[in-house]
Structure 1
Amino acid sequence: MLRMSRQVGEGETAPDFDLPDTLGERRSLADFADKPALLVAFICNHCPFVLHIIDELVAFAKEYEPIGLQVVAISSNDPSEFPEDDYDHMRHFAQEKGFPFPYLHDESQDVALAYGAICTPDFFLYDRDRKLVYNGQFDASRPKINRPPVPGLPPLRTDLPVTGEDMRRAVDAVLAGQPVPEPHHPSAGCSIKWKEGKDPWWG
């Protein structure tokens, strides 16, 4: 199911986390304290919206890491519905795509709940003080999928290339110490697959 709304407010502090990455190490927010910008990306392995942008996201991270951006990807999906989202597949996916950033496993889904994550991909960009400055789309490109249009929303732009335009504009502003320019268009993607009894009111 498509999700295209926000549940968090700009200026909120990044919730802490303590999660294993695909190399078996535990990572927390403090590990990246020296970086002037932090992008937390909720993704998964199977989602067509993630697969549509993943190569450009990897290239984007490699380009911006040397100038101050830390990207952290988190998968919170319950793999009972999509087994390809389990931890072993996460490890393979990160290796196959050459992730230059940590890919963390949120098995309890508590971190996704703390961040108010809605879909995959869902992006949360924080400034040096770890205040939220952007919760929006990577860019306006969308994959071609066999789904009916969402009532009240414009058709997905499947004719656009993946450029990361919106995220680049946001990160450039943060690294320059400037406010992220409007508009902030929310991300679109597959709903997070919540465990029974775990799904939030927005899930």
Structure 2
Amino acid sequence: MKTIKLISVTLLIVCMSSFNYNVANEGYKIGDTVDDFSLKNINGERVSLADYKDAKGYIVIFTCNTCPYAVAYEDRIIQLNTMYADKGYPVIAIMPNNPQVKPGDSFVAMQERAQKKGFGFPYLIDEGQTVYPKFGATKTPHVFVLQKEKNTPVVKYIGAIDDNYKDANAVKTKYVEDAVNALLKGKAVTNKETKAIGCTIR
């Protein structure tokens, strides 16, 4: 009888721990307001959302150097910034991986990659991995389109950049572009959430 009780209590603790983990790691949902952050950019300066006084919103992308999916999307990420930064929706890229686990995502490697690709947007390192869990990011790349409402960023789209990571020329639906274009026109985003395709954040 004692053994059965012990097993029951153990299972209860495990279930409650799992529940708390899931709740804590759900992250932002559509319509949620986003807490600002301050992360180090590749130039050594710290960047926060509040630095963008004139922004209408943001295209926050969790990405990295080492994931093949992220690398495949680099040119498209650059294009997103080129298309929308001047319209008020700059790209803010955040590298969420632990460099001790993924040495190819070290701060120096980030600097080298950004220089090689000519990134025209911030490439921030999530030191201590405190920001990506708040967002609920799980993959690289994972996109969060935010819009300022009463000067507070609100989540309007979460998910993939488009529907074909393998070939930019074969893309049929450009999720992020569609979302930002809708917001620029003062319309609601039709496709608010898609499945992020990429490598698991480590």
Same-fold status (TM-score > 0.5): yes
Letter of the structure 2 residue corresponding to residue 134 of structure 1 = Y
Letter of the structure 2 residue corresponding to residue 137 of structure 1 = A
Going from structure 1 to structure 2, the CA distance change for 1:159 and 1:17 (only over 3 Å counts) comes to closer
C-alpha separation in 2, matches of 1:7 and 1:26: 23
Deviation at 1:183, TM superposition (A): 6.0
2:70 alignment counterpart: 50
Going from structure 1 to structure 2, the CA distance change for 1:49 and 1:179 (only over 3 Å counts) comes to same
Unaligned runs of 5+ in 1: 1-5, 144-157, 194-203
Contact 1:74–1:106 at 8 Å: present in 2 too?
yes
User: Runs in 1 of length 4+ with deviation above 6 angstroms?
Assistant: none
* 1:49 aligned counterpart, secondary structure: helix
Deviation at 1:161, TM superposition (A): 3.0
What's the RMSD between the two structures over aligned residues?
A: 1.9
How do 1:1-203 residues align onto structure 2 when only pairs under 5 Å count? Answer: 7-129=27-149, 130-143=153-166, 161=170, 165-182=174-191, 184-193=193-202
Q: Point out the structure with max Rg over C-alpha.
A: 2
Unaligned runs of 5+ in 2: 1-25
Moved more, 105-114 or 181-190: 181-190
Deviation at 1:96, TM superposition (A): 0.9
Deviation at 1:164, TM superposition (A): 7.3
TM-score between the two structures when normalised by the length of structure 1 = 0.80
Give 1 or 2: higher helix fraction.
2
Contact 1:60–1:164 at 8 Å: present in 2 too?
no
Contact 1:122–1:137 at 8 Å: present in 2 too?
yes
Deviation at 1:17, TM superposition (A): 0.7
Deviation at 1:178, TM superposition (A): 1.1
**Could you report, residue by residue, the CA deviation over 1:31-74 in whole angstroms, capped at 9, with x for unpaired residues?**
12321121111001010111111112102211211112111000
C-alpha separation in 1, matches of 2:50 and 2:172: 30
Going from structure 1 to structure 2, the CA distance change for 1:174 and 1:128 (only over 3 Å counts) comes to same
Letter of the structure 2 residue corresponding to residue 136 of structure 1 = G
Contact 2:27–2:134 at 8 Å: present in 1 too?
no
Deviation at 1:100, TM superposition (A): 1.1
